[in-house]
Structure 1
């Protein structure tokens, strides 16, 4: 049996979940097609999903197409839940990108397509809602070509658009125009085909062209486009056939070493942790002891015994004795496992980090002060399911910060806490999350038993700028055996923790840290006495000294605060361009030269993330309600004007006196 892990992706309200229902109905998994409006869909299981009519959490359901078992993953479409999509991408063999025939290519559509192309995930495009008034065909195909990819080919024609009779007719071997279009597009990536066509056009049979189309689609070089309606079923048979023909189903290597990736974590009814695992090779059986680790920290592996396994099969989740290569399973018993963890070597997994981190944060507080402890427990469990919530605890002010992608996510957190944990919460105003980057190289060292160092430890650190998105690296210029490894590990862990708050309080995400000096006082005691930690170094000495040394090095290197920038695209009436440009200037946006049209014009450029919400609020008044805004995170740029600072939540190693008073109760 061949296996295919398939993702359904789309901008919100393009009909992604409805298409999932139609595919399950066609496969015989469900007896009737559920409705998002009625809240009875198979994959939207959360009460809040049914209430709002949007997907919040990724859901998995299995069905068969002939000899291929498809594990279908329905992902959120709203930009606020982009982290859920990111995690799903790491386990996909192929994808269907859904576009509304009425709304067309939207902001999230472009973000998703760019990511699918960058990760080389084979992708089919399904244009949904051809039965809706205002549906487009030829115009939308041109928009897809212009704004998503030039490597697309329509696989049929849509007729009677805008009504219940709308239909999709696949092209066949008798459609000369389709054959010519295939040759032209396939030749862009196949020199041999081009040479064959030039030498003897008749040598290229229709079947040979379809085979090459399948081969290029599986290599993510070509994106076939289908039209249809998930509500009426138009075009879905052709899409199902394309999933079987054009996407890469494989037979898993069961005899190979175990390799898998955790893309989702949830809690069971008894509060137990359940890990969703995509298996790339090998097999996991009940009672196996599994070793797992973070994809970036192989040296910090953990081990636990699998106590139960469920596998997605035929629309159900069945208890099984094992989960094998290619399958998606649910594992119990792995109490320390986290989203993004790798089982085995993780070979075959798509690298994570495809989307930008959250650029907003807010303070969350319980409505009842007595719920503070329960709130911490509840938020910790939510962070297990979505690590990018990124909790920050300010013990000084007794406040908790959560990271966000948008205001809708705030509402979801609030409702989830109320419904699942019985905790009512309030939020403070949302603020922008900046980062810091190093200006140069800095170094510092403090020696054991030498003033002003009160700790029994020697730590020397050098900080150097690192490439964007390279993360934090830690390496040694001291001998590994110069002191106990536990002390070196304490320094590394403290370095990573301290870098979450740089000179101005913002995280420093990309930096190389080198340990240049080390030293310690060996274990000793007074005569005939037990161990005396006042005479011997402990890991605590290194954990307490490292922030002081690191901050001194960072100050010497200097840091610059960067703010998140969004790329925007505005479609507005031409006669409103001047007023919109004036507003963009006030919001510190950087617009490009407008593309002026007779009635509608397009403005593109960059705008600070902090100003996007203001632009959304002002746009209807500026454009008579006709303006359409797309925006997505683009990059970080140095802050101009006053440097924003972030309140520190640590003991402030920038202030040595206060730091020592907190840590040692003395200076």
Structure 2
């Protein structure tokens, strides 16, 4: 491992990357093989044995899936690689969002048989939003039906970058033994005779693969030349590209997102990991290659470059609070921090002292004296910092944009089975919400029950099980309910609202005229837009902002069932003021009351969350599965045959998916699988709308 970076030159040897993929594509196995290949671990961990480094939580090992983003660090070819293994299940997409916020690059893992799957498409879009450069690794090349070309084509069709395959497989399926490196025109073969981990042997391209390798090298050069001006110039002059030009162009295209380098292998059989690490070093950016971070407020007037000598600035992206202490995981963007230093939480204005700095290896840690720009470390001693907090030098404050937190869509009521454990439950829920911002705890106004809301049924199951395991007491859980929304079908124009109050002191006066209309052309569009069409200064600008704030206050509860309102546009068209009695507060109150009055006049509709479902079942079970989807109000959108199975896609109300895993297993004798991803909102049917929607958490706990 390299020594601590103190210069810009050493920053060039750091790679901060994440492993992204769909469930069961092999992310954690890829991570394990990277740790083994780099000498960080001396034994290969296996997901099915529960012996992996990054899936260290008991629930992860029991369920065989990644639930929590785990950070590890290793060294390769003189570079330090800080790696985050992210969850692949849609319920934990918020973990991926927070990790992507602090990463410089990523490796997207795809199944060589399935290609691009629903959740791999979702995490790809998340990386697009954060402009994180990626390379692709097509895993499981030793499986029956594995095909690199098909996987590459699915990347082109569904993800829309230009896939640039830099390898040619040697052998197919069970006979997959290595790859031809098309950049350096060499063969890389792994010899795993006797069941030992594969030993990499480099040699010339086999005669049987030479013609195909030359053809694919030509196609790679042409594809790169089309996208890269310097490569095009050399290609036109020489009708070929040198290795140095090709490597430089691939790096530039990766950084810009115009192309994605595609490699292949079988991580489980230790084939393809070393070239993947070489590609990480060659193509993914260092902290010096990414744009400098900026403060979210214009008056900050500061940009922090990745410089260890600059003022300290870091973003907290994960908090782990347990009985033995509180760890705050941070990405250091600039400056250097040493143990004992005092940092400022730019959001809250509090200052705290850093007691210790830890290099993280999943659930194990190594003490550090300092951390510098480009590092991903854990800090001990911070009591109030949350995920999304900006930590900075008290003398040079800077507020960074925090990760976006998704709105919860599923809720359950929870209570301690014994009254004496009620206080312990409240403490456990507070700690969960502190660690995971996508978990929301509230008290239902009507029933007085404690309601836990999250991103899905599995998300809430994991949260409740953590309370039971870590708290040591039993919890009763109610039937899940979904988070409904209300929207405007037909608006109202020219609604006049006056807020006048006189009670002896300074009065309140605000007069506004509002137009309310649907935001989009179809039901299910979410969001809120506020505009002002007031002319002649009849409502001053500061009061216009107060009206908007009041309107946003009114969106919290709609007239149908008290659900949040979305999908509407409000226009302030006119109004008037009083020379003495008008104020921000008066116009905020008028905006809130006026919009509530307008919504009672509008034609409203109830929306329910829906999900895109992909179901993979044996061909002989298709009929029963289709009938079950129809009974769940599902709308089938497509089907295709793949390797003896049928893949069905449908849009299904989220409320109808509770318990679907058990139902699907019973209909397919345990051979069916399904995945989901959020698809927004759709109009609820008559019976649900008439009932005003299910109040999340209002059901009696079991």
**3-state secondary structure, aligned to 1:34:** coil
Rounded to whole Å, the distance in 2 between the matches of 1:637 and 1:142 is 32
Rounded to whole Å, the distance in 1 between the matches of 2:638 and 2:271 is 42
**CA RMSD, aligned part only?**
4.4
Rounded to whole Å, the distance in 2 between the matches of 1:335 and 1:480 is 40
For the pair 1:341 / 2:389, whether they are aligned, the reply is: yes
> TM-score scaled by structure 1?
0.78
Shift of 1:564: 1.9
Please point out which of 546, 557, 565 is paired with 1:508: 565
Please point out which of 443, 447, 462 is paired with 1:397: 447
- The equivalences for 1:263-278 within 5 A come to 263-270=317-324, 272=326, 274-278=327-331
Would the aligned equivalents of 2:105 and 2:284 in 1 still touch at CA under 8 Å?
A: yes
- The equivalences for 1:210-249 within 5 A come to 210-249=247-286
Task: State the partner residue of 1:303.
Answer: 350
Stretch moving more, 210-219 or 101-110: 101-110
Shift of 1:575: 7.9
Task: State the partner residue of 2:190.
Answer: none
For the pair 1:552 / 2:552, whether they are aligned, the reply is: no
Would the aligned equivalents of 2:554 and 2:593 in 1 still touch at CA under 8 Å?
A: no
> Would the alpha carbon gap of residues 61 and 517 (structure 1) be closer, same or farther in structure 2, given more than 3 Å must change?
farther
Shift of 1:88: 0.8
**3-state secondary structure, aligned to 1:183:** helix
> Would the alpha carbon gap of residues 37 and 622 (structure 1) be closer, same or farther in structure 2, given more than 3 Å must change?
closer
- The equivalences for 1:298-447 within 5 A come to 301-312=348-359, 317-343=365-391, 345=398, 352=404, 357-438=407-488, 440=491, 444-447=497-500
> Would the alpha carbon gap of residues 648 and 173 (structure 1) be closer, same or farther in structure 2, given more than 3 Å must change?
closer
Rounded to whole Å, the distance in 2 between the matches of 1:123 and 1:594 is 30
Stretch moving more, 454-463 or 224-233: 454-463
Deviation string 1:192-228 (CA, Å, 9 cap, x unpaired) is: 644654x434363232122111110122222222222
Rounded to whole Å, the distance in 2 between the matches of 1:363 and 1:96 is 38
Deviation string 1:266-312 (CA, Å, 9 cap, x unpaired) is: 2153554x32221222344543241422xxxxxxx432223324142
Aligned pairs, number: 615
- The equivalences for 1:427-506 within 5 A come to 427-438=477-488, 440=491, 444-449=497-502, 499-503=555-559, 504-506=561-563
**3-state secondary structure, aligned to 2:125:** helix
> Would the alpha carbon gap of residues 213 and 304 (structure 1) be closer, same or farther in structure 2, given more than 3 Å must change?
same
For the pair 1:4 / 2:49, whether they are aligned, the reply is: no
Deviation string 1:96-139 (CA, Å, 9 cap, x unpaired) is: 11223355443222222233234332112222333455644444
- The equivalences for 1:511-550 within 5 A come to none
Shift of 1:351: 5.8
Rounded to whole Å, the distance in 2 between the matches of 1:165 and 1:191 is 36
Rounded to whole Å, the distance in 2 between the matches of 1:233 and 1:443 is 71
**3-state secondary structure, aligned to 1:44:** coil
Would the aligned equivalents of 1:154 and 1:224 in 2 still touch at CA under 8 Å?
A: yes
Rounded to whole Å, the distance in 2 between the matches of 1:595 and 1:165 is 27
Shift of 1:600: 6.7
Shift of 1:649: 10
Rounded to whole Å, the distance in 2 between the matches of 1:13 and 1:554 is 46
Task: State the partner residue of 1:30.
Answer: 41
Task: State the partner residue of 1:179.
Answer: 217
Would the aligned equivalents of 1:389 and 1:404 in 2 still touch at CA under 8 Å?
A: yes
Would the aligned equivalents of 2:263 and 2:276 in 1 still touch at CA under 8 Å?
A: yes
> Would the alpha carbon gap of residues 455 and 637 (structure 1) be closer, same or farther in structure 2, given more than 3 Å must change?
farther
Would the aligned equivalents of 2:483 and 2:608 in 1 still touch at CA under 8 Å?
A: yes
Task: State the partner residue of 2:118.
Answer: 107
Rounded to whole Å, the distance in 2 between the matches of 1:335 and 1:517 is 48
Shift of 1:509: 5.4
**3-state secondary structure, aligned to 1:392:** strand
Rounded to whole Å, the distance in 2 between the matches of 1:387 and 1:597 is 38
Task: State the partner residue of 1:296.
Answer: none
Rounded to whole Å, the distance in 2 between the matches of 1:648 and 1:383 is 21
> Would the alpha carbon gap of residues 351 and 425 (structure 1) be closer, same or farther in structure 2, given more than 3 Å must change?
closer
- The equivalences for 1:581-620 within 5 A come to 584-592=629-637, 603-613=648-658
Task: State the partner residue of 2:295.
Answer: none
Task: State the partner residue of 1:189.
Answer: 227
Unaligned runs of 5+ in 2: 1-9, 186-212, 289-305, 392-396, 698-702
Stretch moving more, 605-614 or 544-553: 544-553
**3-state secondary structure, aligned to 1:213:** helix
Rounded to whole Å, the distance in 1 between the matches of 2:470 and 2:110 is 34
Task: State the partner residue of 1:261.
Answer: 315
Deviation string 1:31-88 (CA, Å, 9 cap, x unpaired) is: 2222333333222232222333322211111222234322111111222222111111
> Would the alpha carbon gap of residues 473 and 328 (structure 1) be closer, same or farther in structure 2, given more than 3 Å must change?
farther
Unaligned runs of 5+ in 1: 294-300, 523-536, 651-667
> Would the alpha carbon gap of residues 456 and 57 (structure 1) be closer, same or farther in structure 2, given more than 3 Å must change?
farther
Shift of 1:265: 1.2
Rounded to whole Å, the distance in 1 between the matches of 2:92 and 2:155 is 24
Rounded to whole Å, the distance in 1 between the matches of 2:696 and 2:676 is 32
Deviation string 1:461-519 (CA, Å, 9 cap, x unpaired) is: 8696778666698999977999xx9xx89x96x97676433322222357788998999
Task: State the partner residue of 1:81.
Answer: 92
Rounded to whole Å, the distance in 2 between the matches of 1:345 and 1:463 is 39
Task: State the partner residue of 1:46.
Answer: 57
**3-state secondary structure, aligned to 1:177:** helix
> Would the alpha carbon gap of residues 219 and 132 (structure 1) be closer, same or farther in structure 2, given more than 3 Å must change?
same
> Would the alpha carbon gap of residues 290 and 509 (structure 1) be closer, same or farther in structure 2, given more than 3 Å must change?
farther
Rounded to whole Å, the distance in 2 between the matches of 1:620 and 1:97 is 29
**3-state secondary structure, aligned to 1:372:** helix
Stretch moving more, 383-392 or 25-34: 25-34
> TM-score scaled by structure 2?
0.74
Stretch moving more, 367-376 or 437-446: 437-446
Would the aligned equivalents of 2:410 and 2:457 in 1 still touch at CA under 8 Å?
A: no
> Would the alpha carbon gap of residues 140 and 222 (structure 1) be closer, same or farther in structure 2, given more than 3 Å must change?
same
Would the aligned equivalents of 1:60 and 1:312 in 2 still touch at CA under 8 Å?
A: no
Would the aligned equivalents of 1:62 and 1:69 in 2 still touch at CA under 8 Å?
A: yes
Shift of 1:236: 0.6
Shift of 1:558: 5.7
Rounded to whole Å, the distance in 2 between the matches of 1:79 and 1:401 is 21
**3-state secondary structure, aligned to 1:200:** helix
Rounded to whole Å, the distance in 2 between the matches of 1:209 and 1:558 is 60
> Would the alpha carbon gap of residues 277 and 313 (structure 1) be closer, same or farther in structure 2, given more than 3 Å must change?
closer
